[in-house]
A and B are shown apart, each in its own frame.
Chain A
Amino acid sequence: MGMDYYFRDSFFHRLDPRSKLIWAFTYMLGPGVYPDAIIATLFFLTVAVIIIVAKIPWRKMKPFYAGIAIPAALYVLMNVWYNRGPTVYASLLWGNYVVTLEGLLFGIRGMMAFLIILSAVRVLTLCTSPSELVLGFVKFRMPKEYGVALTIGFSYIPVLISAIRGIMDAQRARGWQFAHRNPIKRARALVPTLVPTIMMSVERATALAAAIESKGFGHDISRRTYYLSSKFRTSDYVFCTIYLILLFVTIAAITFGWGSTFTYDLIKSIPT
């Protein structure tokens, strides 16, 4: 699931949610747009440092990377196909499928941006509980109403899953077949599940609205307080400073073109 908070007592978990948001932001923004393939790859790999510091076991990351491996590979292939530069690198057997060095590097760099963004989101949600995340957003001036809506949305996910399971059980008990070999049939078998799920969600939304108003939501939202505390400690200042400096360096590097053709030059310098 998207929201899969994994509690660990670690330096990274203890950081203020704002620091974690700043981390995700700087990590996505700087390295994510860095124009060189090898440097972007190195940047991507720095997520490993956070994973280790946050004590996240590999089993939590492995299925995630397995899931995005195919789209990532497709992304590289597509770029190779659509972005053709002057340096013909290899020519494949069929038709005019030509791989150029420029296309390949562009594809790899793009794939790294893709991996960096998804890894940032994954690590952020693994190490920050939904409510902390909301609190972080609210501290960054997101309207409090949106914050409450977001929290309710996050907590609805498990309800939805269990309701869908219940509905599917009832359907199977009345002779409905979900297991088909044909993927189209298998997808169509899910259609009757949609109707009750939607009906239930609509009904639930009304009931929820009544429930939160009965618990004072909207009373005087500007004076709403928060049960969870968030405190910016020294470690947060240090952590954020490091990442913000990194961000500035990256932006400067991009602006002045430092190392932006590093891989290209490297490969070009190899005599063929």
Chain B
Amino acid sequence: MSAQYEIIVEDLTFTYAGASEPALENVNLKIAKGEHVMITGPAGAGKTTLCCCINGLVPHFYDGEMKGKVVVKGINTRIASISYLSRFAGLMFQDPTVQLVSPTVEEEIAFGAENYGIPREEMHARVEELLKFLRLQKYKGSTPYSLSGGEQQACALGAIMCMRPSIYVLDEPTSNLDPIGSSMTFRAIHELVKRESKTMIIAEHKFAELAMFVDRCIVLDRGHVYMDDEPRKVLGSADVLERMGLKPPQVSRLAKRLESKKVFDYVPMTVDEAYSMLSRKLKRVLGKPFEDPLAGKGEVIVDVEDLSFNYPDAPHLALRGITLQIRGGEFVGLIGQNGSGKTTLVKHFNGLLKPTRGRVSVFGQDTQTADVARLARRVGFVFQNPDQQIFSTVVRDEVSFGPKNLGLSTEEISRRVEEALKRADCADLVEKNPFRLSRGEKQRVNVASVLSMRPDLWIIDEPTTGQDFIRGRHIMNMAKSLHEEGGTVIVISHDMELISEYAQRVIAMKDGEIFLDGTRREVFSQSEKLSETYIVSPEMVILGRKLGEFGIPSNVLTVDDMFSILEERL
């Protein structure tokens, strides 16, 4: 009976050692051979733990109490070792940097195969094939760490593929990739794995890119299986998913909100599906374009003049002749491909990098001569990696690190610390060890640590990678309230939906140059031009342009915009 299922999970409950709540509770699942399954859910729902159950990391590697059982290819995981199970079930972890163990890309891909004693000639053949499949040929002999985040993930995926498992378990395999890169990867994996009729399980929150490639979607919430159905059925509850902190495709959300109008015969998962149904029902009405105000008429606080920058030993310029002004009170979204120079540019705004050519002045100070510590009084920088911004073992010390460097009095420091903790919603964490917190909590502590310095200019570098949507939103809401109080905010993000909702001005970069610069509606309405730089505009922008013939204004940006127009016309 059980032979037809590759994976059987029965009454599984697992509690990590030291945790008060179980990470998974009463989970029952049966996954058949050749099935492609998406596992999703908000942070802390148990996605990663479930992945780790399949190759035996739970319970053999991670300590804890396990009830129930997991059977993989007829083998009870309790009695088999991790390395034995991994031969059938290849697990790719979310963070590529912790699974790269070899000095070169080709050896990295071969690492698993070496452990299983695959003969050398066979290994070389597999590695060659995978390098081609993953487009990593030119990096064959480079160290994996020199690759971009997305390429590192490709390399980590290759290492799993080289072992030729019959079950692929991928934990957010594209967290470092932009939407186009993600959907390309999902498509490639899907085609390959279908052809070889392998079973695939992907823990992922990117509905828009993945949903069309899977047969089944399992939604976990606080350790429980909350939904388990075809993706289209699951997306029928887009509103529920959104409240859980997930990000279903905009078109699915729009369909849910227009449910009472009965325009959609089925739940759309793509813009094309939504368009084909809407275009049959819509009547032509002339619409007025949305207003598109650009706040921030204050004085110029960041003045960049013909800035070029070259990293030492790098063959190409990272920034090329950038001229830019940012005024007090602006909320700027900085977008662009990986490697387009976004982070390099903002690191000039607090003096961490000095121009190779040209001039950058911030609050009237030339950064060439001003030191970082001085600029830090007015420029607050929240970096991308939360782990690299924690220097103390108690949250209180962490948040007072900055104010202490400013040389403030003890009373002033404690006043500021308290205020910052309250504001960043981490007052309850004050005595905790920040290194032990969850990623979302760490990020809040990072923000509090900058808040306590009371900067006038905020630079927030990618608050959304490897996170669920709701956390990105929390940070953006905080940025919004800082902005409303008169602060100037610059946010770098790959999440076009967040940028389109929060930023007033959007700057798109490409190959170290500014490619587009304008109000958010101006920039995103140029979706064709943006797609040249592999930026996908929010789905509503694309849908709005397709529906332009019906008089839908060309600068529709959000689900709210589209809903407000369609509600009147349907």
A-side residues, CB < 8 A to B, are 5, 7, 129-131, 148, 151-152, 154-155, 158-159, 162-163, 166-167, 169-177, 179, 192-193, 195-196, 199-200, 203-204, 207-221, 223-229
Let me know if B402 and A174 touch, CB within 8 A. Answer: yes
Chain A residue with the shortest CB-CB distance to B388: A166
Let me know if B388 and A225 touch, CB within 8 A. Answer: no
Choose one: B97, B101, B435; the contact of A212 (CB below 8 Å): B101
Given the interface pairs A155-B100, A176-B405, A215-B112, the reply to whether A192 lies near B391 with Cβ below 8 Å is yes
Given the interface pairs A170-B389, A172-B373, the reply to whether A204 lies near B98 with Cβ below 8 Å is yes
Given the interface pairs A174-B453, A226-B120, the reply to whether A216 lies near B163 with Cβ below 8 Å is yes
Query: 12 A-B pairs, CB-CB below 8 angstroms?
Result: A131-B102, A131-B103, A159-B145, A167-B391, A170-B381, A173-B372, A177-B405, A199-B387, A209-B61, A215-B163, A224-B115, A225-B114
A221 and B116 alpha carbons, distance in the complex (Å): 8
Let me know if A199 and B87 touch, CB within 8 A. Answer: no
What 8 additional pairs, Cβ within 8 angstroms, besides A210-B62, A219-B84, A226-B120? A171-B401, A175-B373, A207-B95, A212-B101, A216-B115, A219-B87, A221-B115, A225-B120
Contact bitstring B85-99, A, C-beta under 8 A = 1, else 0? 011001101010111
Let me know if B115 and A215 touch, CB within 8 A. Answer: yes
B-side residues, CB < 8 A to A, are 52, 55, 57, 61-62, 81-84, 86-87, 90-91, 93, 95, 97-104, 106-107, 110-120, 123-124, 127, 141, 143-146, 159-160, 163, 347, 350, 352, 371-373, 376-377, 379-381, 383, 385, 387-393, 401-402, 405-406, 435, 449-450, 453
A154 and B376 alpha carbons, distance in the complex (Å): 36
Residue from B95, B104, B106 whose CB has the most chain A CB atoms within 10 Å: B104
Note all chain B residues with C-beta closer than 8 A to A179: 371
Note all chain A residues with C-beta closer than 8 A to B117: 219-220, 223-225
Chain B residue with the shortest CB-CB distance to A170: B389
Note all chain A residues with C-beta closer than 8 A to B124: 227
Choose one: B84, B114, B379, B393; the contact of A224 (CB below 8 Å): B114
A172 and B353 alpha carbons, distance in the complex (Å): 11
Note all chain A residues with C-beta closer than 8 A to B390: 196, 199
Chain B residue with the shortest CB-CB distance to A171: B391
Choose one: A155, A166, A175, A214; the contact of B91 (CB below 8 Å): A214
Chain B residue with the shortest CB-CB distance to A169: B352
Given the interface pairs A151-B103, A169-B352, the reply to whether A196 lies near B391 with Cβ below 8 Å is yes
A172 and B377 alpha carbons, distance in the complex (Å): 11
A172 and B102 alpha carbons, distance in the complex (Å): 32
Chain A residue with the shortest CB-CB distance to B61: A210
Let me know if B98 and A170 touch, CB within 8 A. Answer: no
Let me know if B391 and A195 touch, CB within 8 A. Answer: yes
A113 and B120 alpha carbons, distance in the complex (Å): 40
A177 and B351 alpha carbons, distance in the complex (Å): 13
Given the interface pairs A170-B388, A192-B391, A217-B83, the reply to whether A208 lies near B107 with Cβ below 8 Å is no
Let me know if B435 and A227 touch, CB within 8 A. Answer: no
Let me know if B406 and A213 touch, CB within 8 A. Answer: no
Chain A residue with the shortest CB-CB distance to B145: A158
Choose one: B86, B146, B352, B373; the contact of A216 (CB below 8 Å): B86
Given the interface pairs A177-B405, A227-B110, A227-B114, the reply to whether A130 lies near B103 with Cβ below 8 Å is yes
